[in-house]
Amino acid sequence: MAAQPHAAPATPATAAKGPLVIAKQSFFYIGGQYDHMHPDRHVIGQMYVEYQIPQDLKHPFPIVMVHGGTATGLEWKGTPDGREGWEQYFLRRGYAVYVVDQVARGRSPYETQVYGKATSQTTQYILERFTASEKFNLWPQAHLHTQWPGNAEPGDPSYDSYASSNAASMDDRDAQDAMNVRALDMLLDKVGPSILFVHSQAGQYAWPLAQDRPALVKAIVAIEPAGPPVHDVVIKGGEPRFGVTFEEAANQDDAKDQFRDSPQRKSYGLTNHVLAHAPGVSPQSPLAFVRQVEADGPDLARCWRQKEPAKKLVAIGDRPIVYIAAEASFFAPYSHCTVAYLEQAGVHVDFIKLADIGVRGNGHLMMLEKNSDQIAQVVADWLETTMAKTEADQRGAAR
C-alpha cells in the first residue's frame, strides 16, 4: 500500500457534554526495580498509572482500566474521531478511574537490553482486524462491521489518529504477562478494592489478579478478553496472528474448516501464567484438554475445554464477571469458547452479546467506535445493577 500523507487531526464528532469537574488527578509509577544485571541500572518492570477522581464521587470502588495489545492507556481516554472515551464516561458516572500503560509500553519505558525484541502491528493487520474488516471478510461475521468512524484507510483523520497511537510491545509474551501481573497486584495493593476493566491481551491478567488479590478485585469487566482458551485461533487468509500463518497452524482435520489452532498451547488454559485449581495442578495431575468434534454453530470455531472431570479455578468466580462480545469482531467466532471454559471451571460469567440487545456492527475496538457511549452504557448498567449490594455494604462498613 502506498504511503499516504498524514491528515489533519480529527475534529470531535459530537458536541461537548458540559464541564467534567475533577477533584484530584495525578500519576505515579508502580512495580519497578533497578536492573542489577546491566551496568546502566535502569528501572525496569514499572507501570505508568494516571488517575482522576471526580468532584461528584458516587461509587466507593474505583475502576482500573487495562488496555490491550500494541495499545496504551489512550485506548480508554478518547476516540480516534475526537470524542470522549470510556475514562471520561465513567468519571461522569461518578467513578474514580485509574488508567495504566502496561509495562514496556507507552509511558512505561522500553529497555531493549532487558525486554528484548519488540513487535508491532502492520498497517494491513490493523485494516483487516480492526478498522475495515468488512472489506476483507476473513471471518464469517466480518461483513457486519459498520461502526468504525471514518473510511478506515490511511489518509482518513480517524484512521491516522488510531494508527499513530500503536505502540510496539514485548515479543516475549510470557515475560510481559508476568511483569504486568506483578505491577497490577501492587497497584491494587495501593488503590484498594477496585473494579477491573480489561480488554483483549489484558484479559489474561484478570484471572491471576483475582486469585492473587481476591479481596481487592470486586468485579471484572472483560471486553473480549484474550482468547480463546488453550490454543489461539488462526483464521484463513490475511496477515498472520502472533506470527503464525494458517498453513503453519495445527490440529486441522477438516480441509474446509476456516479456523485452525496456533501450535502454542496455553499451559493453564486461559494463559501461561500459573492459575490455582482444585484439585491442584501437578506433573502427576496435569490439566488435560479436549477439542469439540463439532462447533456450536456454522460460523463458529470449535472450542477447547478441559477433559472431564474438570478442575475448578480457585477464587476467580467469587465476584461478578461480565464478558462483552461485539457482533463483527474477529473474536466473534470464539468468544463463547472463553465463556464456556470459565463456566466449566466453576466461574460464572454474564455473557452479553451486544447484537442480542440491539447494539450492532461493532468490531474488537468497540470502545473507540461510533457507538462507544452506547456500549459504555451497557457496562454502566451492568455495574450499577450487579454491584449495588456490594457498594451498599462498603458504605456501611466505612461508617
Q: How far apart are CA 229 and CA 352, in angstroms?
A: 18
Q: What is the pLDDT of residue 255?
A: 54
Q: What is the pLDDT of residue 386?
A: 98
DSSP of 56-69: S---SS-EEEE--T
Q: How many CB atoms lie within 10 A of CB 298?
A: 6
Q: Is residue 1 part of a domain?
A: no
Q: What is the pTM of this model?
A: 0.94
Q: Is residue 253 part of a domain?
A: no
**Which residues are CB-neighbours of 381 under 8 A, at least 6 positions away?**
none
Question: What does DSSP say about strands 321-325 and 63-66: parallel, antiparallel, or unpaired?
Answer: unpaired
Q: Are 168 and 35 in contact (CB under 8 A)?
A: no
Of 363, 322, 364, the closest CA to residue 342 belongs to: 322
Of 209, 206, 201, 204, the closest CA to residue 221 belongs to: 206
Q: Is residue 255 part of a domain?
A: no
Q: How many CA atoms, within 13 angstroms, populate the side-chain half-sphere of residue 185?
A: 17
Q: How far apart are CA 87 and CA 71, in angstroms?
A: 15
End-to-end CA, the chain: 62
Q: Is residue 15 part of a domain?
A: no
Residue 41, phi then psi, degrees to nearest 5: 50, 45
Q: Which of 200, 262, 329, 372 is catalytic?
A: 200
Q: What is the CATH number of the domain that holds 385?
A: 3.40.50.1820
Q: Is residue 362 part of a domain?
A: yes
Domain of residue 84, residue span: 22-230+316-398
Characterise 238 by phi-psi region: left (phi > 0), alpha (psi -120 to 50), beta (else): left
Per-residue pLDDT of the chain in tens (399 residues, 90 and over written 9): 333 333 344 444 444 689 999 999 999 999 999 999 999 999 999 999 999 999 999 999 999 999 999 999 999 999 999 999 999 999 999 999 999 999 999 999 999 999 999 999 999 999 999 999 999 999 999 999 999 999 999 999 999 999 999 999 999 999 999 999 999 999 999 999 999 999 999 999 999 999 999 999 999 999 999 999 999 998 888 776 766 777 777 655 555 678 889 989 999 999 999 999 999 999 999 999 999 999 999 999 999 999 999 999 999 999 999 999 999 999 999 999 999 999 999 999 999 999 999 999 999 999 999 999 999 999 999 999 999 999 999 988 887
Q: Is residue 199 part of a domain?
A: yes
- What total of structural domains would you count in the chain? 1
Q: How far apart are CA 229 and CA 207, in angstroms?
A: 13
Q: Is residue 182 part of a domain?
A: yes
Q: Are 295 and 301 in contact (CB under 8 A)?
A: yes
Q: Is residue 282 part of a domain?
A: no
Mark whether 329 is an active-site residue: no
pLDDT tens across 280-314, in order?
Answer: 999 999 999 999 999 999 999 999 999 999 999 99
Angle (CA) 214 219 223, round 5°:
125
Q: What is the pLDDT of residue 238?
A: 77
